[in-house]
């Protein structure tokens, strides 16, 4: 049964009718206690499972919640590429230095990560910000057989960023600039036009592949490839809508992009 039932008036009355001496527990206290029990059980099971593997990879990444809580999620990945979330380290109001992150990772309550199973780890991975780089270095100093590895996905996105938008050292590549601008304007136009999006969705119902346009992932620059493929995939449907006059690329940004957008050919 859903926990929300504990606050449901009908459910409370129903239980009272069955047994007037029974008091439905408070939802908050009930859920808190049960989650604590289940969390402990899950971590025990996960620790037992992790201890049956070798060549594990430890990875962690920081992010901020809407309440501006500083949280570092920590994962363990097996050699079979199965990843498990094993900890959420909250550092709200605390300076998230490399030393502090390393200290939290090696505390007893996170012993599943390193303190008792370090011999089973072969690699530690994170992005390339200064504090987590230092944390990786500290881990590899304490357990020197663990390889220190920058996150390859993050590095790939940084490479894609330099290719697509350039950097101080390398300018934009002209061969990429025009197609990127065209693709971005098309997807931006549809994201800002509800009518056009509905027309496109209905038009795609007649296509074998009904997937619509895909937006560019913020900071995930390599996702531009998915965005470009989605425009190519939807091109025939968009062109049909344009020719029937259901979609008009009449915004200033789109029409001034390139003569091709005016005729969409």
DSSP assignment of the chain equals: --GGGGG-HHHHHHHHHH-TT--PPPHHHHHHHHHHHHHHHHHHHHHHHHTT--SEEEEEEEEE-TT--EEEEEEEE-TTS-EEEEEEEE-TTS---HHHHHHHHTSGGGTTTTTTTGGGEEEEEE-S-HHHHHHHHHHHHHSTTSEEEE-HHHHHHHHHHHHHH--SSSPPPHHHHHHHHHHHHHHHHHHT-HHHHHHHHHHHTTSS------PPPTT-GGGHHHHHHHHHHHHHHHHHHHHTTSS---SHHHHTT-HHHHHT-
Confidence of residue 254 (pLDDT cuts 50, 70, 90): low
Q: Which domains does the chain have, with CATH numbers?
A: 1-50 (no CATH), 52-150 (3.30.420.10), 164-263 (no CATH)
pLDDT, residue 257, reads 55
**Average pLDDT along the chain:** 81
pLDDT, residue 104, reads 80
pLDDT, residue 42, reads 82
Question: What is the average per-residue pLDDT within 23-36?
Answer: 79
Higher pLDDT, 66 or 132: 132
């Amino acid at each position: 049964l859903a926990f929300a039932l504990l606050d449901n008036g009908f459910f409370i009355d129903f239980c009272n009718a069955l047994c007037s001496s029974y008091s439905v527990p408070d939802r908050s206290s009930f859920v808190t206690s049960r989650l604590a029990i289940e969390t402990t059980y899950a971590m025990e099971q996960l620790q037992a499972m992790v201890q049956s593997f070798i060549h594990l990879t430890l990875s962690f990444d920081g992010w901020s919640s809407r309440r501006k809580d500083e949280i570092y999620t920590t994962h363990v990945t097996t050699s079979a590429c199965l990843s498990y979330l094993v900890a959420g380290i909250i550092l709200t109001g605390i300076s998230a230095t490399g030393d502090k992150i390393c200290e939290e990772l090696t505390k007893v309550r996170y012993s599943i990560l390193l303190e008792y199973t370090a011999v089973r780890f072969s690699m530690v991975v994170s992005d390339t910000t200064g504090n987590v780089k230092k944390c990786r270095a500290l881990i590899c100093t304490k357990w020197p057989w663990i390889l220190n590895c920058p996150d390859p996905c993050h590095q790939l996105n940084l490479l894609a960023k330099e290719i697509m938008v350039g950097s101080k050292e390398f300018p934009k590549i002209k061969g990429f600039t025009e197609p990127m601008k065209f693709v971005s304007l098309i997807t931006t136009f549809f994201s800002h036009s509800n009518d056009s999006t509905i027309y496109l969705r209905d038009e795609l119902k007649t296509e074998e592949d009904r997937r619509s346009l895909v937006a560019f992932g913020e900071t995930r620059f390599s996702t531009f490839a998915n965005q470009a493929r989605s425009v190519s995939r939807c091109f025939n449907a968009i062109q049909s809508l344009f020719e029937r006059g259901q979609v008009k690329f009449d915004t200033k940004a789109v029409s001034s992009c390139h003569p091709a957008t005016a005729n969409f050919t």
